[in-house]
Amino acid sequence: MRRLLVILLLALPHTAGLRADLPVPPQVLEPQTAAEAWNVIRLATANVTRLLKEQRLDEVPQQVALCSGALRTLARSAPGLEQRPLIDAQTTLAFRCVNDTAQAGMARLQQSCDAAFARLQTALTALGPAFAAADVSAEIYACPQHPEMVTAQENAQCRFCKGALRIRRIPYTDLYAVPEVAQTRLALEGTPALRPAAPTAFTAQLQKADGTAFPTDALIPFHGAPVRLLLVDQTLTDFHLLTPDPAGAAAFTPKVPGPYRVWAEVLPAHTAIPEHPSADMGGEFKAMDRSRHDFIESLSATADGLHFQLTFTGRNGGFPPARQVSVMRLHVTDDAGQSVTRLEPLMNAFAHLTGIYDDGKTLLRLHPVGGDILREDLRGGPVLSFKIYPPRTGFLRLFCQVRVDGRIITAPLGVQIPQ
């Protein structure tokens, strides 16, 4: 009789809320073939390796847990009766190592997590010879619009939309991420001198590293569009979020003569890691000296008749520490103090938070937990939860954007990130 494999739940009451909400399709959670399963294992373990290298232990449990469904599929596979004892022994050991890695990650024990993950890799290496080499190293292709469409066949088309499939990637984090090798850079064209209150048109060109144009079809739409542009002046007070047209043309009305920093928000299909290449407009953007411009902590703000309040619910209940995942909540009320429950979808979310550090170089994009909002008739509020991973200490300006009654409202907040 085959040994029963018990999958332990990877959650502890006091830490479960601190893990990132990694968006993955069902085909990743429950692969149907040995090739799909090995692909998930290979991608997930590569992501764990990177998270451990960056000491992002809070995010290890959810990433390593992706191996569980794949191991279940492999445990059910029967390449040959002579391989059954090996499959039973190594999948059982691998399940135990997945659990050990997750628990050490949630307890933030780096050495224990490293050791448990090393044992998992050893078990997987021993398991590999029981399967066809082509399955162990298989690439899986998926449709960006229909992720349920997966195949190991290269150059296949989606049976739903007939679009070309792309190599499947699993992002190593849904929070702050920096690609090891950037795929994109940003160039601005046609930028005149900036004049306060005067509409300014310009063109943003997304490029490859060699300066050639980066094709839009090599991007995955992110929150409803392949490219967004984010602009802020060097005092971190005038913020704009734009959606350029397919040719990269955009326009805004500056409040100051500049300089402004412009970021593009894109998601290259090759890596599935968001990138934010930047360029300056109206002069060189320089970090402001706090002795010349005071960056004030402000966890509440009022804009256009709405009041915005941030609270933090991390381990210590205080400000989110650097290099750890924390939870924060945004509460929206009106002038009368009544909760606002009519937040409209804006770029597939009920609110957006854009964090910009006082050095003007580090950018965070935060969206409420719970996934994309894909129906325009839905309404949200008054409380929205966010996960945040501040990559370093320092002052972080947070621009909150919501849409109410068809109007986009922007409120500036700020927090000093401690050690």
Could you tell me which CATH number the domain at 300-417 has? 2.60.40.10
The model's pLDDT over 96-121, given as tens digits with 9 standing for 90+, comes to 999 999 999 999 999 999 999 999 99
Q: What is the rounded distance in angstroms from the CA atom of residue 278 to the CA atom of residue 270? A: 20
Structural contact between residues 332 and 341, judged by C-beta atoms closer than 8 angstroms = no
Neighbour count for residue 337 (Cβ, 10 Å): 7
φ, ψ dihedrals at 332, nearest 5°? -110, 125
Q: For residue 391, is the peptide bond before it cis, meaning its omega torsion is within 30 degrees of 0? A: no
Tell me, what's the pLDDT at 17? 37
- Report the share of the chain in percent with pLDDT over 90: 75
Amino acid, single-letter form, for residue 201: A
Structural contact between residues 388 and 310, judged by C-beta atoms closer than 8 angstroms = no
The model's pLDDT over 173-197, given as tens digits with 9 standing for 90+, comes to 989 998 989 999 999 998 878 999 9
Tell me the sheet residues that pair with 343: 380
Helices (H) and strands (E) in the chain, counts: 6, 18
Tell me the sheet residues that pair with 263: 230, 278
The answer on pLDDT for 9 being more than 70 is no
For the record, the structure tokens of 140 come out as 């899986």
Domain boundaries, the chain: 16-138, 185-281, 300-417
Could you tell me which CATH number the domain at 185-281 has? 2.60.40
pLDDT band at 15 (very low <50, low <70, confident <90, very high): very low
Residue with tokens 């090739």: 35
Q: What is the rounded distance in angstroms from the CA atom of residue 383 to the CA atom of residue 328? A: 10
Tell me, what's the pLDDT at 372? 86
The model's pLDDT over 327-377, given as tens digits with 9 standing for 90+, comes to 999 999 999 999 999 999 999 999 999 999 988 899 999 999 988 898 999
Structural contact between residues 269 and 281, judged by C-beta atoms closer than 8 angstroms = no
For the record, the structure tokens of 120 come out as 């998992």
Same topology, domains 16-138 and 300-417? Answer is: no
Which residues lie closer than 8 Å to 80 by C-beta, 6 or more apart?
A: none
Helix (H) or strand (E) holding 189: strand 185-189
Average pLDDT, stretch 256-266? 95
Tell me, what's the pLDDT at 292? 57
Tell me the sheet residues that pair with 142: 150, 166
Fill in the DSSP letter of residue 275: B
Pick among 3.30.43.10, 2.60.120.10, 3.40.50.150, 1.20.120.290: CATH of 16-138: 1.20.120.290
Which residues lie closer than 8 Å to 297 by C-beta, 6 or more apart?
A: 395, 414, 415, 416
Tell me, what's the pLDDT at 8? 38
Terminal alpha carbon distance of the chain: 54
Burial class (CB in 10 A: 0-12, 13-18, 19+), 220: middle
Q: What is the rounded distance in angstroms from the CA atom of residue 360 to the CA atom of residue 233? A: 9
Tell me, what's the pLDDT at 316? 56
